[in-house]
Amino acid sequence: MSLASPRVVNVKDLRRLARARLPDGVFDYLDGAADEEVTLKDSERAFKEVLFKPRFAVATPSCDLGVTVLGQKLDLPFLLAPIGYSRLMHPRGELAASKAAGNNGTGYILSTMSGHTIEDVKAESNGPLFYQLYLAGGRGAAEAAIARTKAAGYKALFVTIDTPVAGNRERDFRNGMKELMGKSLFAKAKYVPGILAHPRWLAAFLADGMTRPFPNIVVPGSGPLAATDVAAALESAQVSWTDLKWIRDVWDGPIVMKGVMTVDDAKRSVDHGAQGIVVSTHAGRQLDGVAGSLRVLPGILEAVGSQTEVLFDGGVRRGSDMVKALAMGAKAVLLGRGYAYGMAAAGDAGIERAIEIFRADIIRTLKLLGCPSIAALDSSYIALRPGFRVD
């Protein structure tokens, strides 16, 4: 498969290749969101309401893309975001993401719902790694995972707070995602024709041992949590603000609150000692009808941007989108679907191509703006259309 230009020049091309390789259920798990997908659409649309204000006749022979996030120097202003069930999209899943991030001088955030172990993911990477924490499986399972991340040298915990229950992801229901992840061959039977239409994916899925439990959610006395038990486990172990004190007791590194969408929650995160927050709608996969995260970013930055590191996540499809969020004041951007489409299409090579596309787009955008570096970006390079903000 060729991933070079002109066949693959943007994320839409990677999405097209991912759709061709994956069965409908797996593709829609990656591509879909909650309910009517209003938030997903608004997350992308919001970027179109931010306009650039370039400065021409400015020499920018090279552009410095470096940033420092949670004390870690990165060569790129974006990190690869946590994506659960990555192994379902490609057998190397999180291993490929970790390796590609390290190869390109940036960080990777490993999901609690990883199909590969904390230790194996670490072994693949020469870059900084972070761990996204759910309390699925209870505090005992979480404490064991935290101890393993600490021993493996992960740099920070990203505590996800926007998942008291799983979102209503209707595409998953229609396409049999639950049945695909389950143990019943009878339940899978009705989806077999669609799966057989994707022989490359099926061969890799079978060779990889099919559906596996989550190796980083080890419930005391029960072992690794089965994929079919995740929704119930999340609902019975909702993260609350009181959990942060306990997390701080068992983890002495930076803590980042992921899923912050209001000034109140941003301030509360700071009050509870969070070293960072991620402004995020969980890719539109939780509560539908929430504004795209870019719309709330300015207000949150005004409220807490001088007190904690504010990262951005949501709707990014081009490097120029990243530049807009960074110009508003975000410390860095989390890239999710943008690299996951590449992973689903071609594993390691697909992620490398996704990163290459975003890097080139950021450099081109900075040069066209007349801006020499990410550090030099500020709000003077952008204008917001009337009615853009949601405060």
> Would 390 be classed as within a structural domain?
no
pLDDT in tens, 110-146: 999 999 999 999 999 999 999 999 999 999 999 999 9
**For the domain that residue 192 is a member of, what is the CATH number?**
3.20.20.70
Residue 188: per-residue pLDDT:
66
> Would 4 be classed as within a structural domain?
no
Q: Which residue numbers are catalytic?
A: 282
Distance CA 46, CA 175 (A): 29
- Provide mean pLDDT across the span 353-372: 98
Distance CA 74, CA 155 (A): 13
Q: What ranges make up the beta strands (E) of 45-128?
A: 50-52, 67-69, 72-74, 78-80, 108-110
Domain of 373, in residue numbers: 11-384
> Would 226 be classed as within a structural domain?
yes
Residue 186, pLDDT > 80, answer no
pTM beyond 0.85: yes
Q: Between the CA of residue 361 and those of 96, 105, 292, 319, 388, what are the distances in Å?
A: 22, 17, 22, 5, 24
Could you give the number of structural domains in the chain? 1
Give the strand pairing for 214-219 and 223-225. antiparallel
- Peptide linkage before 128 cis (omega within 30 of 0): no
Residue 205: per-residue pLDDT:
87
> Would 260 be classed as within a structural domain?
yes
